Amino acid sequence: MTAYALDSWTLTRRTLLQWRNQPAGLALGLFFPVMILLMFAYLFGGAMQVPGGGDYKEFLLPGIFVLTMAFGLESTFQAVSTDAGRGVTDRFRTMPISSAAVLTGRSVADMLYAAVGLIVLIACGLAVGWRWHDGPVNALLAVGLLLLLRYALLWFGIWLALAAGKPEMLMAVQILVWPLAFLSSVFTAPETMPGWLGAIAEWNPLSATASATRELFGNPGQDGHFWLAVGWPVLLLAVFMPLAVRRYRRLT
* 159 neighbors 240 (Cβ within 8 angstroms): yes
Contacts of 106 (CB under 8 A, 6+ apart): 11, 12, 15, 76, 79, 80, 158
Other beta carbons within 10 angstroms of residue 126's beta carbon come to 12
The reported pLDDT for the residue numbered 125 is 92
Per-residue CA distances from 90 to 3, 5, 15, 149 (Å): 20, 21, 17, 29
pTM (predicted TM-score): 0.90
What's the total number of domains in the chain?
Answer: 1
Contacts of 117 (CB under 8 A, 6+ apart): 29, 30, 33, 68, 72
pLDDT in tens, 49-97: 777 777 888 999 999 999 999 988 888 888 888 888 888 887 887 787 7
Q: SS3 for 33?
A: helix
| Domain boundaries, position 114 | 3-249
- Number of residues in the chain: 252
The reported pLDDT for the residue numbered 24 is 81
* 69 neighbors 150 (Cβ within 8 angstroms): yes
The reported pLDDT for the residue numbered 252 is 62
DSSP category for residue 187: S
Q: Which residues of the chain have pLDDT under 50?
A: none
* 189 neighbors 175 (Cβ within 8 angstroms): no
